[in-house]
Chain A
Amino acid sequence: MEKHINEQKLISFITKSLKTQESVNVDQHISGCKLCRQKHSDLLLLLESSQNENITPSAYCDKRIRNISIIPAEETTKPAVLILTIKMLMNSYKPIMAATAALLIIIGVTGAVVTLSRPVDDQKTIPISISYIKGKAYINNHEINAKTRIKENSLLRVAKNSAVVLSYNNKFTIKIRGESTLEIQKALISTYNRKAEFVFDLKKGQLFTKSDDPTGRSHYYYITPTAQIKSSKTEFILKVADNKTVVIPKSGTLKIKSLESDEEVMSAPYKKYTITSSIESNDLNDFDEFNADTLKNLDNPFDEDDNFYPKDFMDSISERI
């Protein structure tokens, strides 16, 4: 028997590809050789199951599948009958059909001329509404009010001492503080069936966001100059200044990724994450002016006095950035 067993043979042993006698020999050798036993264990690790307990379809997916609509096969023959009927009718009423077709062409051309003469607005409106404005805010340099419709690729700028609250179908709210700039985009997340979600690009400033979708489905993610943050049922503060991003989760779990290093972490509540080329996390107790109660009280995004972010707390973040 060779002194040590090569890897190919060990792999064949694991996958039961060896002949019986060869397999017995390898087994005996492993029992007596520490090095080969270690190699064998290492190879077995490759086949050890990962943590799969949390890999399950969402409640939304369960519902979709349970409600798959079952169309009886007979109904699929209907189109052929329909086409035949149309053909018979067309043969019987040719003159009328010709006149109708001419009229439709005239209407179509007229409609096209009217449409083309209107100013082109190729940005689609997205279903995010402005729930609250304090002070002044602008989208693409036009001042906005509560009735302003938000379109894809809107650049929202909130003036100093102002605040804006955005919401989507009671599924999430975002409060954006003064001196902040946020670009609102729409992105495809699944090329498989072209499902879209929102992308919020916080270029500078700070915001608080709360996501409440009971299905736990994520509808958006954040981008900053240094990070990408994805969440579902969560609440967190996000601040961007210079080349740093700060994230402080209040509840739930966030997936935070550094855009420079691709490093990823799953966040825990009441910790401060600073993202540059890496992700650094600190306990909130590091702040002299801060305590956990302050974060607990960040509930009402519509506070006109803007006590939403206690001044001391936000200043303490600024000092450390």
Chain B
Amino acid sequence: MIDNSRLVEIYELHKKELFIYIYRFCRSQESAEDILHDCFENLIKYSQRFTIQDQNIKSFLYKTAHNLSINHLKRSNKILYVPIEEDSKITDDTYITGNIEASDLNNKIYELLQDIDGLSRSVFIMKKELGKDLREIAEYHGISERTARRKLNKTLEFLADSLKNLGLMLFFYMFTGIILFSNCPII
């Protein structure tokens, strides 16, 4: 069983990373803190009934965080199970992000992520925010690495497709401005 001092050790080791993951999933500081608390509470309860190896603690915490986050979003009716289209049409158009500032881009990405299934969102957040490799991500979710890779691919295609119009519009306006400016007789 995990005692108090061990709990504090585990908490200090994993809290930052776990909190970022939960926060990016739920997008609410208060809910993320509640979920973080419940993750560790569940860990203690689990350790009272079963033996948990040190190397499995992190995986347990992430799985719990994922499940609690999904439940929270379901209760708030914020989660829509929209499978990413297998045949989403990707064109050869360029400039997905164009001149969008990084912070605006990330805000937009997380808005768009609300529309995809929980597993794809989770895989993407772990890759983007926590720098995990796909083997590790697959292990946390109990899926194959191939499935994790496929989920990530589809998420990136979805985001690229969704962001493309915004990027293109900005590029168009910038390009038009350059043409007009360069034709100005004063310059």
Contact = CB atoms under 8 A, between A and B. Distances in A.
A12 interface: yes
Contact of B30 (A4, A35, A55, A189): A189
Given A192-B35, A193-B34, A68 B129 contact: no
A61 B106 CA distance: 26
Nearest to A6: B92
Contact of B159 (A46, A65, A190): A46
Q: How many A residues touch the partner, as a band?
A: 35 or more
Contact of B103 (A12, A14, A51): A51
Contacts of B2: 70
Interface string B157-174: 101100100010000000
A59 to B, nearest CB: 11
B33 A45 contact: no
A17 B91 CA distance: 20
B96 interface: yes
Contacts of B19: 55-57
A15 B134 contact: yes
Contacts of A15: 134, 149, 152-153, 156
Interface in B104-135: 105-106, 109, 127-129, 131, 134
A38 B37 CA distance: 43
A8 interface: yes
A38 B95 contact: yes
Contact of B33 (A12, A52, A57): A57
A7 B72 CA distance: 34
B153 A47 contact: no
B7 A68 contact: yes
A190 B96 CA distance: 36
Contact of A50 (B3, B33, B129, B160): B129
B23 interface: yes
Contacts of A195: 30, 34
Nearest to B154: A11
Nearest to A73: B48
Contacts of A42: 94-97, 160, 167
A244 B106 CA distance: 31
Given A38-B95, A56-B16, A70-B3, A61 B36 contact: yes
B129 A8 contact: no
Interface residues of B, number: 58
Interface in B47-102: 48-49, 72, 75-76, 90-92, 94-97, 102
Contact of B128 (A12, A48, A62, A190): A48
A111 interface: no
Given A52-B129, A64-B37, A46 B8 contact: no
B88 to A, nearest CB: 9
A16 B149 contact: yes
A70 B4 contact: yes
A72 B47 CA distance: 11
B141 interface: no
A55 B153 contact: no
A43 interface: yes
Given A38-B94, A43-B96, A57 B15 contact: yes
Contacts of B129: 49-50, 52
B2 to A, nearest CB: 8
B138 interface: no
Interface in A12-26: 12, 14-17
6 contacts: A39-B94, A43-B156, A47-B127, A62-B15, A65-B36, A190-B34
* 6 tightest Cβ-Cβ pairs between the two chains A and B: A61-B33, A73-B48, A42-B96, A50-B106, A7-B90, A190-B30
Given A49-B131, A60-B33, 12 more contacts: A8-B157, A15-B156, A17-B153, A39-B94, A42-B95, A43-B160, A47-B127, A55-B20, A64-B33, A65-B7, A68-B7, A192-B34
